[in-house]
Amino acid sequence: MRKAFFFSGSMKNKNSYKFAIIGLGKVGTAIGHLLRKSGHRIVAISDKSPAALKKARPYTGGKAFRDPGISVMDADCIVITTPDDIISSVCNEIADSKLVKQKFVFHMSGAGGLDLLDTAKEAGAYVASIHPLQSFSSVDTAIENIPGSIFGITTDKKAQKQAQIIVQDLNGIPIFISDVQKPLYHAAACIASNYLVSLLNVVESVYESIGISKTNAQKAYFPLIYGTLKNIEYSGSINALTGPIARGDAGTIKKHIAAIAKTQPQYLSLYCNLGLITTNIAQKKGTLSKGKAKLINDLLKEVAEHEHTK
CATH topology for 5-182 is Rossmann fold (3.40.50)
How many CB atoms are located within 10 Å of the residue 58 CB? 9
pLDDT bracket for residue 14 (50, 70, 90) = low
pLDDT attached to residue 1: 46
pLDDT attached to residue 137: 86
Instruction: Say yes or no to pLDDT of 308 above 80.
Output: no
Check: CB of residue 202 under 8 Å from CB of residue 270. yes
Q: Torsions phi, psi of 5, nearest 5?
A: -145, 155
Q: Torsions phi, psi of 304, nearest 5?
A: -60, -45
Looking at residues 224-231, what average pLDDT do you find? 96
pLDDT attached to residue 306: 78
Instruction: Say yes or no to pLDDT of 231 above 60.
Output: yes
pLDDT tens, 137-159?
Answer: 899 999 999 999 999 999 999 99
Question: What's the chain's average pLDDT?
Answer: 92
Domain ranges in the chain are 5-182, 192-308
pLDDT attached to residue 303: 87
pLDDT tens, 77-95?
Answer: 999 999 999 999 999 999 9
Instruction: Say yes or no to pLDDT of 69 above 60.
Output: yes
pLDDT bracket for residue 97 (50, 70, 90) = confident
If phi > 0 it is left, if psi is from -120 to 50 it is alpha, else beta; for residue 102 that is left
pLDDT bracket for residue 12 (50, 70, 90) = very low
pLDDT tens, 238-288?
Answer: 999 999 999 999 999 999 999 999 999 999 999 999 999 999 999 999 999
Instruction: Say yes or no to pLDDT of 6 above 60.
Output: no
pLDDT bracket for residue 310 (50, 70, 90) = confident
pLDDT tens, 177-209?
Answer: 999 999 999 999 999 999 999 999 999 999 999
Q: Which of 112-116, 240-244, 280-284, 305-309 has the lowest mean pLDDT?
A: 305-309
DSSP H or E run through 30? helix 26-37
